[in-house]
Chain A
Amino acid sequence: MVDFGGWDMPVQYPAGTIEEHLRTRRHAGLFDVSHMGEIDVQGEDAIAIVNYLVSNDVAKLIDGQAQYSALTTPKGTVVDDLLVYRFSENHLLLVVNAGTTEKDWDWITAHRKDGAAELKNVSSEYCQLALQGPDAVGILQKLTGLALADIKYYHFTEGQVDGVPAIVSRTGYTGEDGFEVYAAADKAEQIWNKLLDAGNYGSDTGVLPCGLAARNTLRLEAGLALYGHEIDENTTLLEANLGWICKLNKSDFIGRDALARQKEIGVRRRLVGFEVTERGIARDEQEVVINAERVGRVTSGSPAPYLKKNIGMAYVPSESASEGQEIQIDVRGKLVGAQIVKTPFYKRQK
């Protein structure tokens, strides 16, 4: 167990990280992600108020739809990445990272515009369990009357899971199909146990509970950013390849001008994915060397259990950020060869 953003969480369960990772890709993995934060926004001006604070266009959402987004600074750098859920025109829910919940709340309170909306930090009221993998639909269906097949990707609905009122969202952080289930905090254990049971925990093809290490290797293979690594208050959305959640043509938002300028003049450095091509494992924070010059830094580096390679993401100068570019990583004093590749490293078959 380790401290993660102030929460006591397991790095892995008895099966071990590699098995947890593979089982999620082949069958199902269950993640207790109740550490995530939730901020409720209700009122006539809910959409306007949130849309000024985030980079993606909240006005484009329909009831029951969610979108990946970012809280941005005036420089276009990232306060946090988050999901914005639209329940109705007057009701949004922001789901933010655990380690940044307090910071986000303070930021939103300080920078929001006036308007008819009540914002509440409701993080302590929610638990969140993520069931991910090709078997997720079948497993969760045993516990709910909701027609899960009808919930589209990045959409959600309210209903009951094992008789408990819940939000069931077709979202996740693994690159697999699956659901994130939000319910009252005191219902976590019940839903957790029922999901393990419904998922045949204990069978070789059943669901496995997964810890932080597998959560990280899964999202890395899927090319997903982790706040504090690929994105932080020193990286702009464009540098981080998140231009797709940056809607410069919507109404004004914090950082829009800076991002528009950067889009015009181009970014000086870019986030890339790489595969290690020689013996060794690249790790976070190690330097990237190109033509004997130290030019960048690894943001996340790890073995990739499903791909059976060692991979990572790093910031490199834009002129070197091309697929196929050979680089080296300084692995504790030894230069290890790697090559820039397209991300995501892994894409599930649909």
Chain B
Amino acid sequence: MANIPDDLHYSKDHEWVRVDGTVAIVGITDYAQDSLGDVVYVELPKAGDDFAANESFGSVESVKAVSEVFSPVSGEVVGTNETLADTPEKVNQDPYGDGWMIRVQMSNPGEVDSMLTAAEYEDFTKAEKE
């Protein structure tokens, strides 16, 4: 059973957001890393890059495949997890902690309200499996 922490917001593309004031920390969920398999490469944007909600901000690669990752919120990237360059496996090992990907200064903090709750995301992943 995938881990789905209660205190996070979720997207249908399997990203999570942790709100830290007006900053959103973004990563991919346990369900996503499990489906992908061993992560071998993460492509992240630069600080200063701007994204609209649901725009792709980078990609995650497993041995076999490339998957785009989408920002659930609009804003400017104010930090990226540079350790993922040398240790991409953190995305598998600790998707909600050390596997975080970017910090976004939200231009519209209300956007997180239209994201899924943990319970809604759990239902969503169950339905996807069927």
Contact = CB atoms under 8 A, between A and B. Distances in A.
Contacts of A279: 85
A17 B61 CA distance: 13
Contacts, number: 33
B94 to A, nearest CB: 16
Interface stretch (B34-42, B69-77, B104-112, B120-128): B34-42
A213 B41 contact: no
Contacts of A18: 38, 40, 63
B38, B41, B63, B64 — most chain A CB neighbours (10 Å): B63
Interface residues of B, number: 10
A217 B63 contact: yes
A281 B41 contact: yes
A12 B40 contact: no
Contacts of B40: 18, 281, 303
Interface string B18-57: 0000000000000000000110110000000000000000
A11 B64 CA distance: 9
Contacts of A283: 66
B63 A303 contact: yes
Given A16-B38, A17-B37, A213 B64 contact: yes
Interface in A7-23: 11-12, 16-19
B66 A305 contact: no
A280 B64 CA distance: 14
B37 A213 contact: yes
A332 B38 CA distance: 21
A208 to B, nearest CB: 14
A283 B41 CA distance: 13
Size category of the A interface is 10 to 19
Nearest to A304: B63
A101 interface: no
A334 to B, nearest CB: 9
Contacts of B37: 11-12, 16-17, 213
Interface in A264-291: 279-281, 283
A311 to B, nearest CB: 12
A302 interface: yes
Contact of A281 (B38, B61, B85): B61
Contact of B63 (A17, A280, A332): A17
Interface string B64-93: 101000000000000000000100000000
A116 B64 CA distance: 46
Nearest to A308: B40
Nearest to A17: B63
A12 B37 CA distance: 8
A14 to B, nearest CB: 10
Nearest to B68: A332
A329 to B, nearest CB: 13
Nearest to B41: A281
A10 B64 CA distance: 12
A85 B62 CA distance: 37
Contacts of A11: 37, 64
A216 B62 CA distance: 13
A17 B64 contact: yes
Interface in A180-238: 213, 216-217
B62, B64, B85 — most chain A CB neighbours (10 Å): B64
Given A17-B64, A213-B64, A217-B63, A280 B38 contact: no
B90 to A, nearest CB: 14
Given A18-B38, A213-B37, A213-B64, 16 more contacts: A11-B37, A12-B37, A16-B37, A16-B38, A17-B62, A18-B40, A216-B64, A217-B63, A281-B40, A281-B61, A281-B66, A302-B63, A302-B64, A303-B40, A303-B63, A305-B63
22 contacts: A11-B37, A11-B64, A12-B37, A16-B37, A16-B38, A17-B38, A17-B62, A17-B63, A18-B40, A19-B38, A213-B37, A213-B63, A216-B64, A217-B63, A280-B41, A281-B40, A281-B61, A281-B66, A283-B66, A303-B63, A305-B63, A332-B66
Closest 6 CB pairs of A and B: A17-B63, A18-B38, A213-B64, A303-B40, A16-B38, A213-B63
